[in-house]
Amino acid sequence: MTRFRTVDLLVTVLIGAAFGVAFLGYGQLYTLISPLTAAFKPAEGLLAGIWFLPAMLAALIVRKPGAALLAEMIAAVLEMLLGGQWGWGTVVSGLLQGGGVELAFLLTRYRRYTLPVAILGGVLAAGLEWVWERFAYYPEMSGLYAGAMLGFFLLSGAVLCGVLGWVAARALTATGAVDSLAAGRERARAAQA
């Protein structure tokens, strides 16, 4: 259960690398919408859940302890190395986001890969990331605004990471593209039953 096969490691690395590159573009979205969120900065929290997706996809597809954290760290480090706008803060974020998703699956002893667990992973990742951002990026934010931002982070983590990640993993598994991985083998067993 805990040992990574070569294919598990390759898929985890590919997920992280693909998102690391994609995150450069996603980061620019924050620049584009800054005029819209200037009046109510906490609304940026609604976009947060996308940042946690590499961890969620790796967890749901590879299903090995550490896959979520590894994929998220690869995405974060690659984004930083490619010139991402948050520099080393990106690596801290990757550690917290991947750790939050990892924690949700650890709580089930890596035995349940259901929608509720995925939502929990998104919420935990969002909560940890909010703590980092609150003090690293928004120390001047009022308590009311910080609370609103937390609410938006948690909602985004639940929906954009948890639900979207779970749907994307199921859709990818249904194609047969990951049949050699744990998620694909589970699908094959369910089809035979």
The string of pLDDT tens digits covering residues 117-146 is: 999 999 999 999 999 999 999 999 999 999
Higher pLDDT, 37 or 80: 80
pLDDT digits (tens, 9 = 90+) for 69-109: 999 999 999 999 999 888 999 999 999 999 999 999 999 99
Q: Which of 128, 81, 83, 82 is nearest to 102 (CA)?
A: 128
Mean pLDDT along residues 170-193: 85
* pTM of the model as a whole: 0.92
Say if residue 185's pLDDT is above 90.
no
Cβ partners under 8 Å of residue 42, min gap 6: 141, 145, 146, 148, 149, 151, 152
Which pLDDT score is estimated for 2? Answer: 65
Structural domain spans, the chain: 6-192
Quote the mean pLDDT of the chain: 93
Distance (Å, whole) CA 131 – CA 112: 27
Say if residue 191's pLDDT is above 60.
yes
pLDDT band at 1, cuts 50/70/90?
low
Give exposure, 82-94, as e/b (b: 16+ Cβ within 10 Å).
eebebeebbbbbb
Distance (Å, whole) CA 18 – CA 155: 25
State the CATH architecture for 6-192.
Answer: Orthogonal Bundle (1.10)
Show the tokens assigned to 63.
């299903």
DSSP 3-state of 111: coil
Say if residue 187's pLDDT is above 70.
yes
Which pLDDT score is estimated for 73? Answer: 98
Instruction: Report which DSSP code applies to 157.
Output: I
- Cβ atoms of 52 and 157 closer than 8 Å: yes
Residue linked to tokens 């990951």: 178
Say if residue 62's pLDDT is above 60.
yes
Which pLDDT score is estimated for 179? Answer: 86
Q: Residue 67 CB: number of other CB atoms within 10 A? A: 31
* Amino acid symbol at 121: G
